[in-house]
Amino acid sequence: MKKWIESTSLKEWLIYLLPVIWLVLLAVSFVTAPDIDQFVREEGQAEAPEGFPSQIAEELIEEDDGFGGEEILLVYEQEDGFSSEQKEEIKEVLAGLSEEDHNLPIHAVTGPFDGDMEEERLISEDGDVLIALVEMDIEAHEYADIRNELQEASQAEGVDHDQTGEAVINEDVVVSTEEGLVTSTYITVSLVFLVLALVFKSLVSPLVPLLLLGTVYLFSISIVSRLIDWVGFPVSNFTQMFVLAVVFGVGTDYCILIMKRFQEEVLKDQTAFQAMLTTMRASKSTVLYSALTGFIGFATIYLADFDLYQSAVGVAVAVLVMMAGIWMVMPAVLALGGVRLFWPGKPGSSNPSNPLWGFIGGLTLRSPKLALVAVALLVIPFYLFYDDLRSFDNVQEIRGDYDSVKAYELTEEAFGQGDLFFSTLYLKTDEASWDDHGKIAHLEQLAMNIEKVEGIRGVRGLNRPDEDVPDEFRIPEQAGILSEGMVEALDGLDELSDGIHEMKDGLDDSEELLDEAEAGIGELIAGTEEIMAAVEEAEDQLDEAEAGIRNLMEGTEELGSGAKEIGEGIGEIRQGLEDAGRDVSSSREDLGLWQTRAEAVVSEIEAFERRGSELENEVQERAETVNNRYQAARREAEEALANAAEEKEQLRSELQEALNDLEAEAEGDLPSEELGRIRSLLDGHSVVPEDVTLPDLDLTALVPDLPIPPFSSYADEIRSALEDGDGQLQELEEGLTEAAEGLEEAEEGAGDLQVGLDDVQDGHQELLDGMAEARQGASDLSGGLDELQSGHYALLDGVGEGRNGLENFRKGLRDMLEGTEELNEGIGEAEDALRQVSKQEENPLEGLFIPNEAFEEEAFEEAFDQYVTPGGQVAGMELLFEEDPYSQEAMMILDEVEEVAAFTLRDTPFEDKEMAFSGITSSNRDLRDVSDQDFFVTAAVMLAGIFIALTFLFKSLIMPLYVLVSLVLTYIGSMAVAELIFVTILGYDGIMWAVPFFSFVLLMALGVDYSIFLMGRFREILEEGEEITIHDAIHIAMKRIGGTVISAALILGGTFAAMMASGVLTLMQVSTVIMTGLLLYTLVMLPVFVPACMLLLGSWNWWPLGRPKSERDS
């Protein structure tokens, strides 16, 4: 050991130190690297780049505060249908999700219990499947964190349910890929070990590549993860799988190439270290150029716009790491291991020969033209039958035993294709409102044209939330309603016409009434004058009554002055008269009502028209009432005066007796002159003059028998005037009644003569005051009668004006009658036209109109909330496909819809407005477009890069051409075989859309390695300086490299075959294409097509530089 250490040079020590450095770097990088699986979830989903319709749609929605989260479908199933209890249970569960008593980021929940339209859409026709739509405010990668919680929160007792939707399926694809990656890793390691053990017939040899490439894989993934974290490096579900396949597949090829060469060199009596140096020098050109072409191939992917395609650029990083690992680890391993690496076997001969390639090469080189014809016969059918059928059905990506796939298939079976997974057309307006007739009319025109596109089953939107325009918005329906209304209007016009005729006849009668009214008003004027004369006569009689009362007052005053000596009797009389005075005062207050009623004359005049028909009876009845009351008052007053006279006589008798008694008792003590004076006073005066009488008025005789015209306004004036007179006389009646009551009280209280006489005197005065107020009332009545008379004259003038108005009215009626007839005719024509519109068959031009009140209805508000973003600028229109929304047919239908929409909006306010599409079909269409675009661009750049690298390697412009042609033909043939297997035999819709791109990149980058292996050995044989022809050099190179190529292809194919265990359809199809391509390339293209071209071209192979002088052809 000491001797070995001493003999080891510094250069050797450096070589032995490199693996240690490699392991230290690996450990640090791997331990500190972020989790790439989390990046896959966050950024690894396929999305079209900015500027594509589906991305524009997302931007429009987010800019207008629309929902931008993920929609999850809860699918409930009950084979025999749901019972009422189960439905109630599900309803409660969905209501619980809508409430905020959980930690789930739920935006909204829509279930079949929210309304009739939701029930029809979300419960299957058989009633055994029920769906709820849950909108969640999450990014797609966040779904994994809440999946289990949502499952528990949405569980209804006794009912099975699963989740599905784009986010759910994508998550299951990620899970399936991760599980497949683990499985593929085990299979790959096992397969590589087995193949290497068979190739080298050793149990130790396989460990070297496996351990080395294992560290390369871990190092590559840690670096890619850091690049994702630091610079936003692209990543996808396929990144780790492709890195694994390329590292173990291509890396094993390089390891086999190096170890095979080491086998040859270690047998040449060299030390292990010298054999390693020779091997690494000889392999350097082949391995590095091979790695360079692979790096160029994978690095050019970064030029693609599509982030999913860009994610494969991680393989380019792995190629660099792999080169670093091989050159840092492999030299030390070879130098230290030596021949022990091949234990328990031994290195083979220095020139191993592959019999298969030797046989194929012999046939090809014997007749190269025939070989090319054979290749053409093999490839042309592939090309002719290759339809390039692609599928965008993400549901097919994973096995059907995933819950998300089962739920999706159940939904599709129960509700039909495209009913729930529809696409949405979004249209933006500059104004923040879509509740406008004109805008909705454009939407309906757009919907009508889109509905005509073949493959569109229906259109839902703001104007047709249930796929059909509501009947009340359709012009024929509205025309029918208007027609019915016009029929009613015609009936009304007929009635109006009849009414006008009746009014015209009535006007003739009214004119006669006016004549009668004029005559009646004249009689009213005359009658009023008679009433005024009667009032004047009543005033004269009141004057006479006042004079009598004044005489009575004078007598009472004289009697009072003579009765001063009679104490208590005079006092009782005074008390009685005072009581009478208070009653007369009440009478005076009542007399105030006369004025109030006189003031009511004006009001009664205004009410004349309403009471005219009752005037005559009221006047007569009130006159009789007033007259009766007046007569009763007069009689009571006269009785009161008579009673007062009797009381006076009684009082005088009592006084006479008292005087006689006084005279007898005095017996001459009193002066006889005084006694005589008292007797004279008693004999000469009376309390009430016998000749005082009240006037006897017969008021009924004053009321003329007047003809009252049928106009209430005239009768009210007369009634008001008579009511004033009634009021005045009523006050007089009450005053007299009060006076009578006063006299009665005076009689009852005649205990004290002096007091009684004073009271009587006061009563007389109050009676006089009442007489004065009665006179004032009569005067007011007279004034009111004057005003009434003026009103009569004004009424007479009004009747004249009314006659003129009637004439104008009659003329207006004639004009109205003519207008009614014209209107009747016009409405009849309009009604006939509207009836024809309403009965027309349904057609695209029937028209649409939304009444203003419809905008306020709850149904429209619900549609507005569903199809218009919260900001009000973006309206959505749901497109229901007859085809599977994942199918190519659906994308072609959407292409046509876009063309129709653009044409429909031409020359409208929306011509230059933003329009975009969202939904599964729209997203897949964008993926199709971007994948096609990136495929051709990236393929062209990749081929150009490989061509340049091969040009420098081969020092020729010709060799790279037929090498690339061989690779392209291999790609077409392998894709045709894959299509045959998966479409024709297995029944898939097509090859998954990402497969062509990844297959092309992998076949180009990996397949060119084998051509470099062959061409490199061919050049090496020619450069050995031997006298050898191109024919022999090719044949020798094929025999020597054939085993290596086949072993490498077998290992690479096996590595990709391990992807079949992933269960992810894209990886399975890529695996199939790569395996088929490797088989076709290693058995046909590389041993037949390339050698035939080389032999046929001869010296042209090195054009334009020409073949080196040291090399010559036989």
Phi, psi (rounded to 5 degrees) for 818: -65, -45
CB count in 10 Å sphere of residue 305: 17
User: Token pair for residue 709?
Assistant: 């015209």
For residue 178, the surrounding DSSP H or E stretch is helix 166-200
CB count in 10 Å sphere of residue 643: 16
CB count in 10 Å sphere of residue 316: 21
Distance of alpha carbon 172 from alpha carbon 718, whole angstroms = 102
Distance of alpha carbon 625 from alpha carbon 629, whole angstroms = 6
Q: Which residues pair with 474 in a beta bridge?
A: 848
Environment class of 85 (CB within 10 Å of its CB; exposed 0-12, middle 13-18, buried 19+): exposed
pLDDT confidence tier of residue 307, bands split at 50, 70 and 90: confident
pLDDT confidence tier of residue 718, bands split at 50, 70 and 90: very low
Highest mean pLDDT: which range of 319-323, 618-622, 757-761, 1049-1053: 319-323
Query: Would you state the pLDDT for residue 576?
Result: 43
The alpha carbon of residue 734 and the mean position of all alpha carbons in its chain are separated, in whole angstroms, by 83
Distance in angstroms between the alpha carbons of the first and the last residue of the chain: 55
Cβ(1088)–Cβ(371) below 8 Å? yes
Give the model confidence (pLDDT) of 573-586 as tens digits.
445 444 544 543 44
Cβ(937)–Cβ(303) below 8 Å? yes
Distance of alpha carbon 958 from alpha carbon 951, whole angstroms = 8
319-333, 847-861, 994-1008, range with the lowest pLDDT: 847-861
Give the model confidence (pLDDT) of 1081-1094 as tens digits.
999 999 999 999 99
Beta strand 991-992 with 390-391 is parallel
What pTM was estimated for this model as a whole? 0.67
Query: Would you state the pLDDT for residue 596?
Result: 52
Cβ(239)–Cβ(40) below 8 Å? yes
Q: Is the pLDDT of residue 453 over 80?
A: yes
Helix 712-748 with 753-838: angle, nearest 10 deg: 160
Give the model confidence (pLDDT) of 893-935 as tens digits.
999 999 999 999 998 888 888 999 998 899 989 988 888 888 8
Query: Would you state the pLDDT for residue 751?
Result: 47
- In the block, which residue shows the tokens 């993926």? 927
CA angle 1002, 1008, 1011 (to 5 degrees): 150
Distance of alpha carbon 367 from alpha carbon 942, whole angstroms = 33
Cβ(1107)–Cβ(1099) below 8 Å? yes
Distance of alpha carbon 910 from alpha carbon 908, whole angstroms = 5
> Going by C-beta distance under 8 Å and a sequence separation of 6 or more, which residues neighbour residue 17?
none
Cβ(982)–Cβ(1084) below 8 Å? no
Distances (CA, A) of 261 to 135, 740, 1047: 62, 161, 14
39-48, 446-455, 600-609, 614-623, range with the lowest pLDDT: 600-609
Q: Which residues pair with 464 in a beta bridge?
A: 461
Percent of the chain with pLDDT over 70: 64
| Mean predicted confidence (pLDDT) in 509-533 | 66
User: Token pair for residue 945?
Assistant: 């890069």
Distance of alpha carbon 387 from alpha carbon 219, whole angstroms = 41
Query: Would you state the pLDDT for residue 344?
Result: 82
Helix 920-954 with 272-299: angle, nearest 10 deg: 140
Distance of alpha carbon 814 from alpha carbon 116, whole angstroms = 57
pLDDT confidence tier of residue 988, bands split at 50, 70 and 90: very high
The alpha carbon of residue 150 and the mean position of all alpha carbons in its chain are separated, in whole angstroms, by 25
Give the largest CA-CA distance in the chain: 213
pLDDT confidence tier of residue 451, bands split at 50, 70 and 90: very high
In a 3-state reduction of DSSP, which class is residue 628? helix
Give the model confidence (pLDDT) of 90-140 as tens digits.
999 999 998 866 789 998 999 999 888 888 889 998 899 999 999 999 988
Q: What ranges in 272-367 are assigned the alpha helix state H? A: 272-299, 307-310, 314-337, 355-366
Half-sphere CA count of 657, side-chain side, radius 13 A: 5
User: Token pair for residue 785?
Assistant: 């009668």
Q: Is the pLDDT of residue 974 over 90?
A: yes
Helix 10-32 with 314-337: angle, nearest 10 deg: 140
| Mean predicted confidence (pLDDT) in 342-360 | 74
pLDDT confidence tier of residue 379, bands split at 50, 70 and 90: confident
Give the model confidence (pLDDT) of 254-284 as tens digits.
898 899 889 888 887 678 889 999 999 888 8
In a 3-state reduction of DSSP, which class is residue 829? helix
In a 3-state reduction of DSSP, which class is residue 992? strand
pLDDT confidence tier of residue 324, bands split at 50, 70 and 90: very high
> Going by C-beta distance under 8 Å and a sequence separation of 6 or more, which residues neighbour residue 112?
118, 119, 121, 122, 123, 130, 131, 132
Phi, psi (rounded to 5 degrees) for 1023: -80, -5
| Mean predicted confidence (pLDDT) in 507-530 | 66
CB count in 10 Å sphere of residue 917: 24
Torsion of CA 727, 729, 731, 733, to 10 degrees: -140
Mean pLDDT, the chain, as a whole number?
77
| Mean predicted confidence (pLDDT) in 546-566 | 58
User: Token pair for residue 424?
Assistant: 């949405």
Q: Is the pLDDT of residue 750 over 80?
A: no
In a 3-state reduction of DSSP, which class is residue 72? strand
Cβ(1009)–Cβ(294) below 8 Å? yes
Q: Is the pLDDT of residue 571 over 50?
A: no
Cβ(227)–Cβ(315) below 8 Å? no
Phi-psi region of 484 (alpha: psi -120 to 50; beta: other; left: phi over 0): alpha
Cβ(398)–Cβ(176) below 8 Å? yes
Torsion of CA 402, 406, 411, 414, to 10 degrees: 180
Q: Is the pLDDT of residue 368 over 60?
A: yes
User: Token pair for residue 64?
Assistant: 């207008």
| Mean predicted confidence (pLDDT) in 806-822 | 68
In a 3-state reduction of DSSP, which class is residue 566? coil
Q: What ranges in 367-451 are assigned the alpha helix state H? A: 368-385, 403-415, 437-451
> Going by C-beta distance under 8 Å and a sequence separation of 6 or more, which residues neighbour residue 933?
305
Query: Would you state the pLDDT for residue 429?
Result: 86
| Mean predicted confidence (pLDDT) in 853-880 | 84
Query: Would you state the pLDDT for residue 837?
Result: 54
Percent of the chain with pLDDT over 90: 26
Q: Is the pLDDT of residue 784 over 80?
A: no
User: Token pair for residue 832?
Assistant: 């006939």
Considering only residues 55 and 633, tell me which one the structure prediction assigns the higher pLDDT: 55
Q: Which residues pair with 162 in a beta bridge?
A: 75
Nearest to 386 by CA among 887, 981, 966, 938: 981
Distance of alpha carbon 553 from alpha carbon 559, whole angstroms = 10
Phi, psi (rounded to 5 degrees) for 461: -170, -170
In a 3-state reduction of DSSP, which class is residue 106? strand
In a 3-state reduction of DSSP, which class is residue 205? coil
Q: Which residues pair with 72 in a beta bridge?
A: 134
Nearest to 104 by CA among 140, 47, 68, 148: 148
Distance of alpha carbon 55 from alpha carbon 53, whole angstroms = 5
E strands, 971-1036, are 991-992
Query: Would you state the pLDDT for residue 361?
Result: 87
Q: Is the pLDDT of residue 34 over 90?
A: yes
Q: Which residues pair with 609 in a beta bridge?
A: 712
User: Token pair for residue 847?
Assistant: 């028209």
108-117, 767-776, 974-983, 1025-1034, range with the lowest pLDDT: 767-776
Query: Would you state the pLDDT for residue 680?
Result: 65
Phi, psi (rounded to 5 degrees) for 436: -140, 135
Phi-psi region of 585 (alpha: psi -120 to 50; beta: other; left: phi over 0): alpha
Give the model confidence (pLDDT) of 188-240 as tens digits.
899 889 988 888 888 999 999 999 999 999 999 999 999 999 998 899 888 99
Q: Is the pLDDT of residue 810 over 60?
A: yes
pLDDT confidence tier of residue 595, bands split at 50, 70 and 90: very low
In the chain, what are the domains?
Answer: 69-172 (3.30.70.1150), 201-342 (no CATH), 355-396+945-1102 (1.20.1640.10), 507-797 (no CATH)
Phi, psi (rounded to 5 degrees) for 459: -135, 130
